[in-house]
Amino acid sequence: DIQMTQSPSTLSASVGDRVTITCRASQTVNNWLAWYQQKPGKAPNLLIYKASTLQSGVPSRFSGTGSGTEFTLTISSLQPDDFATYYCQQYNSFSTTFGQGTKVEIK
């Protein structure tokens, strides 16, 4: 199975900060990489797919880059609603895997 490793595990930031989360795959996943946001007690919400394509309705302050084995999620200016946990997901095959998550906390 393809292993996904996110860094950092926790990130403390302030409103207005630029935030970057990294996701690394144990082998190439091409561009088959998605990002999700999850708030406590809620289901995850798809933000980005195919590494850099913004899901409909997601604010443009979210962006994704990368290919192969290294990917990043960037929030250009952190908003109060963005404090949450973020997961990457590779879907290079039907057997998909998630990263362990990155919690974005208020500094």
Partner 1 sequence: EVQLLESGGNLVQPGGSLRLSCAASGFTFRTNAMSWVRQAPGKGLEWVSAITSSGADTYYADSVRGRYTISRDNSKNTLYLQMNSLGAEDTAVYYCAKRTAGVFDSWGQGTLVTVSP
Radius of gyration of the chain (CA): 13
Least distance to partner 1, CB of residue 78, Å: 22
Q: Which amino acid is at 24?
A: R
Please, which residue, 80 or 94, has the CB nearer to partner 1? 94
Rounded (to 5) percent helix, strand, coil in the chain: 5, 50, 50
Contact positions toward partner 1, by CB under 8 A?
1, 32, 34, 36, 38, 43-46, 49, 55, 87, 89, 91, 94-101
Please, which residue, 13 or 58, has the CB nearer to partner 1? 58
Please, which residue, 14 or 56, has the CB nearer to partner 1? 56
Least distance to partner 1, CB of residue 101, Å: 5
Round to whole Å and give the CA distance between 92 and 30: 7
| Nearest CA-CA partner of 9 in 21, 24, 27 | 21
